[in-house]
């Protein structure tokens, strides 16, 4: 991935653990400030109440100095509360970024960024 490919990848689905909540998945690809951007996303998700962390995974992007930060959260917030236009990176909605019955969402992210598929 080239330097111009710094981005935020995201998706949401109904939480498999709590039907009253949405599960948000975020991947931030950059060479710095990943946690700062993630904290801003978490702040927006917390507007309607607590936001529960489900997972955190970090890794190196194959063939680039960038790294990725992948986190999932359960929240009662709507995606409309996230101020996508205020984020300094390209934002990509990835409908394949979801929980799986075969394999794991972590496998998907690893294959996407570390294996280059």
Number of domains in the chain: 1
> What range does the domain containing 88 cover?
3-115
**Is the per-residue pLDDT at 82 higher than 80?**
yes
The answer, as to whether pTM is greater than 0.85, is yes
Are 8 and 26 in contact, with CB atoms under 8 Å apart?
yes
Are 1 and 11 in contact, with CB atoms under 8 Å apart?
no
Widest CA span in the chain: 40
What does 45-108 look like in DSSP terms, one character per residue? HGGGS--EEEEEEEEEPTTSS-EEEEEEEEES--GGGS-GGG-SSEEEE-TT-S--SSS-HHHH
Average pLDDT score over residue span 88-115: 93
- Provide the pLDDT confidence category of residue 4 given band limits of 50, 70 and 90: very low
Q: What Cα–Cα distance (Å) separates residue 62 from each residue in 37, 69, 98?
A: 21, 14, 22
CATH number at residue 98: 2.60.40
**Is the per-residue pLDDT at 110 higher than 80?**
yes
Are 98 and 10 in contact, with CB atoms under 8 Å apart?
no
């Amino acid at each position: 991935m080239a330097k111009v490919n710094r981005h935020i990848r995201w998706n949401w689905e109904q939480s498999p653990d709590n039907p009253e909540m949405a599960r948000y998945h975020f991947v931030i690809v950059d060479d710095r400030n990943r946690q700062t951007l993630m904290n801003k996303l978490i702040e927006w998700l917390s507007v309607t109440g607590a936001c529960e962390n489900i997972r955190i995974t970090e890794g190196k992007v194959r063939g680039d100095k960038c790294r990725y930060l992948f986190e999932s959260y359960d929240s009662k917030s709507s995606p409309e509360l996230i101020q996508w236009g205020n984020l300094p990176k390209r934002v990509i909605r990835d409908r394949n970024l979801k929980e799986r019955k075969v394999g794991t969402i972590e496998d998907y992210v690893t294959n996407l960024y570390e294996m280059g598929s």
